[in-house]
Structure formats: C-alpha cells, structure tokens
Structure 1
Amino acid sequence: MRRFISGLALSFCVLLVNSCSTGSDPEDIILDVFSVPAELTLQIENVFNDLAMDVNGIAMHKLEFTGDLITTNVAKCLKASVHRNSETSVLDSIVLDYGTATCSSNGAAFKGKVIVDPKDGDLKSFDIRLRDFSSYGYSITGTVDFQITGETAGNDFSMKMENAEFLINGTGETVYTVTVASINNVYTFLKSEAGSPAYIDDVFKFTTSLSGETPDGVLFNLESSSDLIYAYSCKNIIGGKADFSLSDIGDGIVNFGGGDPESDCDAKATVSAFGANISITL
C-alpha cells in the first residue's frame, strides 16, 4: 500500500512532466511507472472480491432468516442484522456493521457498514450501499448491484459497480482519488471441502472487467483472459490470468497462480510487461 503512495511522485514525473532525471535506466523507470498503477488496480480488484465474498457468504448464503441477527459463520467483530417490514415481515434490508475499528471478517478486513437492500420480491436482485466503508486503507463510496444468477443462493452470483471512488490518504492532508468507471464480476461456485457445512472454505471461479483512472490521470483496464479462482480460505485470487493495460504506457499479463488453495495461497501475483516480471502482493 505504501508503495503506491511513494510511487505516485515518479508517476507524475514521467507521465505528466516527462522531464525527471533519476539517473536510472529508462527501461527501469518505465517498468516502475507501470508497476505502481498495476499494483493499485490489483488491490482494488481484490478489495471488490473480498466484499463480494463476504456479502455472499453472510447475507446470501441463507436468505430464510429466523431471527433478527445472523450468527452463523460471523466474526465476533461483525454485527449482521436482519430488518423486516413491520407489517408484512418482508425483508427490508440486511446490515453488516463492521464497526469503526478494523474487523477481520471471513472475506477480509473492513470498517463501516454494508447495507443490502432487496430490489425484488424473489430476492434475486439487490443494491449494496456502502456507509463510511473502508478496506485495506481505501475509503470506498458507491452502490453495488448484486444479482443471484443461479438456483441456489450463495453459489452463483454477479456484482457490478459504476462511477465509484476509492480514496487513500497520502502524506499530510493529501487524499488521492482513484475513479473506478466500472467493475463487473461474475462468480460461479466451484467447490468446497467435502462434508463442510460452512462457506468459509468455498472456492469460486469468476471473470472480471475493471476500468478506471489513477490519481495522475492514467486510464487502466483489467480484463480476465481465463477463469480466475478465488478461495475464501486464502482471502485472495489464487489462479488464472488477466490482461492489464495502461493508456499511453502499454500492456501486461497478470498471472495469479495455479488455483490451488494449498500451494497458491501466497497473496502474490506476477505481472509480465516490457520483457520483465513484477511480483505484486495483494
């Protein structure tokens, strides 16, 4: 995370001024400029996946709630409450309150509230509102569209978000804004541990399409070129490949690993660009 902040100065020099002199090899400078927004993009992708998996696992895994609180597979720092219409008892919303200190939930680490509102009586379509929400240093604003796409709640689903902002604090009072024009992910349940009733060891395959703009005006795009693999137990993408591009800079290929929850659970991805490989920690 700190690498992104320190890397912004170099990004401004090369992309906006194009007159910085660092004494480094030009190829090294270009590679460094490429790696900073690449890391930023992958972190945003991973935060979105973490949010998707936590909402799906807690709120969608079983929509026929019998009480006012969800307690199964819920972290102690999280209050998951169910709100119904007082007259009809129809579900009004599900509120995931992670509190004001970092809460390590099953998906990842969050602060703030996530409010899940049904958009139809069939409980297939939902709006997800973020209130004072942050994850891994990013304050995130916007509304997420959540769709259950399969017959079984908690298995196949999609999430998309448009015109969102990811804010991160720099030095002093500086706040950097990353604009996410759109992110659209489609998830398909792949497998779980045999005999396990919990969702926290589930594995999903998914596709992603993410586009946006960095604080220094560089347009980025991440597009899965194969099925990607996300494992709850790792809280990370552990497999698959994606194409990554930056306006006026170039293209790269992201390799997330082989998809094995045991051997690929290292929270690392490799970005290949300009004949070199960059290792990024998610």
Structure 2
Amino acid sequence: MNRIFFTILCLILIWSCTNDIDKNISTNLQVEANEISRTSLALEESIIYAFYSFQDYQNATIDSLPGCPDLTISDISKTVTLDFSAKETCASQRLTRTGRIILEFTEDSLQNEKVNLQYENYKLKDSEIQGARSFTNTQSNTSVPRWIEEFEDLIIIDEFQSRTKISGSFSYNLESTNGEFTSISSMGQIEGRNITGRPLKMVSTTQRKYSIACILEGWVLPNSGIEVWEIFRNPNRSLAHTVTFVSEDTCESKISILLSDGRTIILEQ
C-alpha cells in the first residue's frame, strides 16, 4: 500500500512540475513577443526625423512634423532640438512622446552628410529610450539617397524598469516620385541582450517598406517586411521568432509574430 501511495505521489509531482514548466515556457515566449514589439517600435518611430535636412527644419512648421514637436534650431552648431509633449490639436500624434530628440548635422571625411540623433529624457508610450544613433547619407547626389545607420548600446526601458540593450546597423533607400519622397525601404541587423539578460539577434529577411504619407499621419510601422529574431537560451541553443509587418489598411500596420512553438501573436502600434 505504501509503495502504491508513493508511486501516485511521484506521478502527481511530475505532472505538477511539467505543468509549471509549460506555463513558464509559454510566459517566456509571450514576454519575448512583447519585447520584440517594443524594440521594433522604438527603432521605427524616430527614423523619419533623421531624413529631414537642416534646411527642411529651417522651413518646417510644428504641424508639418510627426508628433508636432516644438523646434529649436541653432545655425551656429547646426543642431535641431525636437521637444515633444502631449498636444490635443496634433493630428499626427498617434503615439505618446515626451522628452527631446537632438539632431546634429555634420559631414564626414568624404563629405557625406551625417546626422547624429540623440535621445534626452525621451519616452515613447510606456518606454524610455536612451542613447544615440548615427545616420550617413552615402549617395547624397543621386536621385535615390541611400542612408546607413549605425548605433551601439541603445537602451530601451519598459514600464517595469527592465532594460533591453542593442547595437546594430541598417541601410535605407529613400524613393521619390516627381521629385517628392514617397517611401523608405530598409534592411538591417541587431544584436544585444533582452530584459532577462539573454543574448538576442535580429536579421531582416525581406525589406521593411514605409509609406512617408503614412508616417506624416502618425503611423510609424512599416507596411511590409519580414525579420527573424533569435533569443539564446544558452550559447548553443536559441529559439527563433519570425516577425512579419502586415498592412490591413492603407496605413494601419500590425506586427504578426510567429513564435518558436507555432503560435502567432498579433500586436498593434
């Protein structure tokens, strides 16, 4: 009788532990999906500000820029400061932004235009972004400007003060129709660590494509694009999540994340 009771107890404990493991795995994957969405949004929403020229900002009005930031321009240092706050009358304010983005316009040794983008007390929705990004226009004299972005140790802090830390590089092509820029396409990769300290990697497999008209209306996610995010459990084992940007309307895109266990999660801007 004691042996039967002991066997039943062991089976109950094994089932209980297995159930807890399944719950933990499921929770981890959902947390990773939310972190991927948060990181993507942080990378997407401010790139448009780097592609305006210094002259564009000199001629800009508050309402002409996504999020309607207040502008401070220094002709001496060639810097532009964008101050964000909640504005009820801003039609393009679909995301809550507060704090500053500081843009510094320079040239490199090859006389390529460079824009350094610095975040200062900057918050996007419930997340804070810390660090800087560097954009270089490598084909400034062509009809299709090509920009290269590089950044190191960009930090994204969620509402619980957990930190994602990433470095990466992207290439951007700006396309125009009749002399007016209409779309952006990009490819890139990042690496770093997630909020649990696990290494992560992302590689674009197809181009992200953005509509500038949609960006000017406050929609920042690309209309299309596929990328693979790897989260490493140990140096020799990782799980891969596939991210697809899907446009369900003219401008309103969503993030479809195919998790490593086969489930799909749909997240919005």
User: Is the structural similarity TM-score above 0.5?
Assistant: yes
Task: Provide, for residues 5-54 of structure 1, a one-character-per-residue CA deviation record: whole Å limited to 9, x for no partner.
Answer: xxxxxxxxxxxxxx9x6885855642431231232123212221111123
Amino acid paired to 2:229:
F
Q: 1:184 aligns with which of 152, 169, 176?
A: 169
The answer for unaligned runs of 5 or more in structure 1 is: 1-18, 86-90
User: Per-residue deviation at 1:66?
Assistant: 8.9
Q: Which amino acid aligns with 2:157?
A: L
Q: Distance in 2 between matches of 1:163 and 1:66?
A: 28
The CA deviation at 1:252 is 2.4
Task: Give the alignment of 1:1-282 within 5 angstroms.
Answer: 24=19, 29-56=24-51, 60=52, 62-64=53-55, 67=58, 70-71=60-61, 73-74=64-65, 77-85=68-76, 92-99=78-85, 105=92, 108-120=95-107, 122=111, 124-151=113-140, 155-170=145-160, 175-180=161-166, 182-190=167-175, 202-232=182-212, 233=214, 234-248=219-233, 249-257=238-246, 262=250, 265-282=252-269
CA deviation string 1:34-93 (max 9, x = no partner): 23123212321222111112332xxx2x433595x63172358412232112xxxxx521
Query: Displacement, 1:156?
Result: 3.1
Name 2:9's counterpart in structure 1: none
SS across alignment from 1:164: strand
Q: CA 1:210–1:127 in structure 2 vs 1: closer, same or farther (change >3 Å)?
A: same
Higher relative helix content: 2
Q: AA paired with 1:220?
A: L
How far did residue 107 of structure 1 move?
A: 8.8
Using the TM superposition, give the Cα deviation of residue 275 of structure 1 relative to its aligned residue in structure 2, in angstroms: 2.8
TM-score (norm 2): 0.74
**Alignment check: 8 A CA contact 2:248 2:254 kept:** no
Identity %: 12
CA distance in 1, matches of 2:260, 2:47: 29
AA aligned opposite 1:142: G
Judged with a 3 Å threshold, the aligned counterparts in structure 2 of structure 1 residues 116 and 278 are, in CA distance, closer, same or farther, namely same
Q: Gaps (5+ residues) in structure 2?
A: 1-13
CA-atom RMSD, angstroms?
Answer: 3.5
C-alpha distance in structure 2 between counterparts of 1:76 and 1:109, whole Å? 8
Aligned-pair CA distance for 1:206: 0.7
- Counterparts in 2 of 1:159 and 1:136: CA distance versus 1, 3 Å: farther
Q: TM-score, normalised by structure 1?
A: 0.71
Matched residue, 1:5: none
**Number of equivalent positions:** 241
Deviation at 1:224, TM superposition (A): 0.5
- Aligned-partner Cα distance in 2 for 1:44–1:219: 14
- Supply the AA of the counterpart residue of 1:266: S
